Amino acid sequence: MQVSRETESTELPLLYKALAEEYDLSETIYTFGGHSFSLLSVLDSYALLDRISPEEFVKDEQMPYWAEIWPSAITLSSFIAEELSVEGLRVVEIGSGVGMVSVVAAWNGASVLATDYSLEALRFARYNGLKNRVTLACERLDWRLVQCSEQFDLLFAADVLYERVNLLPVVTAIDKLLKPGGVAYLADPRRRMAEQFLELAAENHFTITSSPRKYSGGSMPVAVNIYKMTRQ
Q: Range of 184's domain? A: 5-231
Bridge partner residues of 114 (DSSP): 93, 138
Residue 201's pLDDT is 97
Going by C-alpha positions, the residue among 161, 107, 162 that lies closest to residue 135 is 107
What local confidence, expressed as pLDDT, does residue 7 receive? 61
pLDDT band at 152 (very low <50, low <70, confident <90, very high): very high
Q: What is the pLDDT of residues 1-21, one digit of tens each?
A: 556 565 666 889 999 999 999
CATH number reported for the structural domain that contains residue 87 in this entry: 3.40.50.150
- Mean pLDDT in residue range 125-134: 96
Q: What is the pLDDT of residues 41-67, one digit of tens each?
A: 998 765 565 555 545 544 555 667 888
pLDDT, tens digit (0-9, with 9 covering 90-100), for 60-88: 556 678 888 999 999 999 999 999 999 99
Q: Does residue 108 contact residue 79 with C-beta atoms inside 8 Å?
A: no
**Domains in the chain: how many in total?**
1
